Amino acid sequence: MRNLPGFWIPKDVSWEKFTKQGTQGTMFARGLKRKSAEDGEDVEGGLAGAQAMPSYSLQRQSLLDMSLVKLQLCHMLVEPNLCRSVLIANTVRQIQEEMAQDGTWRVVAPQAAGRAPLDRLVSTDILCRSVREQEGERPAPDAGDGHTPDLVPGLATVPSAQALRNPQSSLWEVDSSRENRGGFQKSLDQIFETLENKTSGSVEELFADVDSSYYDLDAVLTGMVGSTQSGHGSGLQAFSPATAAPPSSSCRSDLGELDHAVEILVET
C-alpha cells in the first residue's frame, strides 16, 4: 500500500459496525418505522416524510453517515486537507463513543424509510443544542425513539453511506474472513490493496453498489467545497446536489467519471 502522508487513516473510526449491522439492522429498521407509524408519524414518503420529526438518534446517525462519507471523499480528492480530516474523524469518534455509551449503535436508520431526500437543507437545531437540553431527549439504552415535537426535520440520509452499510456491497467482501477483525484500518487497507492489484474491470465491481453520482467529481467538488461555481452558495437552504439522489435510484448508472477518478488513484 502506498504510504501517503496526505491519505491519513484515523484510528478507532469503526466502519465495520455500520456495515455489519446492515442485515440485522433491517429488522430494527422496520421495527423503528412501525413504531414511528404507531406513534402517529407520517412516514409515507415525499413531503410527508420531510415533515416527520426525526429523533435525536436518527439525526445523530445522519451526522455520522455524512461524516463517514466526507472522510471517504477525502481519499478521492487530490491532496486532502489534513486538518479537516482530523476534525471530521474526531467528530465521528465522539458520535460513536456516545452511541456505544447509550447502546444505540445497533440501531440503523431505516433504509430509504420512505423519507424522500430533502431538496433544501433545514436547520438542524437539535444537533447544535446544548447538552442540557438534549439530556431529556436522548433515547434510552434500548433504543427507544425519543420524540421531540418541536424539532425541525433533519438531514436527508446520504445514499452512498447507506450503500456502505449494504452487506452485499463487494466493497466489504474482499476478504470476508477479515471482517471479524476490528478496525477501520484493515478495511481501508483492503480497499487500497484491491485498487492497486486489480484491473479497472474489477474496480468497477468494487464500487458497484455505491451510488456513483456521489463520486461524480464535479458534483462532489461543487457540493463539498462550496466554490463560487456552485449553485448552492445562495444560503443555508441550498442542498448539495451530490446528495440529492434518492436512495432507491440505480447505483450502476454512469461509472464514467468514477473510472476517471479511480484511474487517477491507481495510475492505470
> Does 185 help bind other proteins (rule: CB under 8 A)?
yes
Residue 211's identity, in one-letter code, is D
Among 23, 202, 237, 248, binds other proteins (CB under 8 A): 237
Distance in Å, CB of 255 to other proteins, minimum: 21
Residue that is written with C-alpha cell 416524510 in the block:
49
Please tell me whether residue 90 binds other proteins under the rule CB under 8 A: yes
For residues 71 and 11, what is the distance between their CA atoms, to the nearest angstrom? Answer: 12
Question: Minimum CB separation from other proteins for residue 52, in Å?
Answer: 17
> Rounded to an integer, what distance in angstroms lies between the CA atom of residue 96 and that of residue 90?
10
Q: Grid cell 438531514 — which residue?
A: 155
Within 10 Å of residue 249's Cβ, how many Cβ atoms? 12
User: How far is it, in rounded angstroms, from Cα 35 to Cα 3?
Assistant: 48
Contact between 66 and other proteins (CB under 8 A)?
yes
Distance CA 110, CA 239 (A): 21
From 26-34, 43-51, 104-112, 229-237, give the range in contact with other proteins by CB under 8 A. Answer: 229-237
DSSP string, 95-132: HHHHHHHTTGGG--PPTT-S-PPPSSPPP-HHHHS-HH
Name the residue nearer to other proteins (CB basis): 158 or 169: 158
Between residues 22 and 161, which has the closer beta carbon with respect to other proteins?
161
Q: How many Å apart are CA 159 and CA 147, to the nearest integer? A: 25
Q: Which of 6, 46, 103, 182 binds other proteins (CB under 8 A)?
A: 6
Identity of the residue, 22 or 88, whose beta carbon is nearer to other proteins in the bound complex:
88
- Size of residue set near other proteins by CB under 8 A: 56
Q: Does 38 bind other proteins (CB under 8 A)?
A: no
Chain residues binding other proteins by CB under 8 A are 2, 4-6, 8-12, 60, 63, 66, 78-79, 81-84, 86-87, 89-91, 94-95, 121, 123-125, 127-132, 155, 185, 223-230, 232-238, 240, 264-265, 267
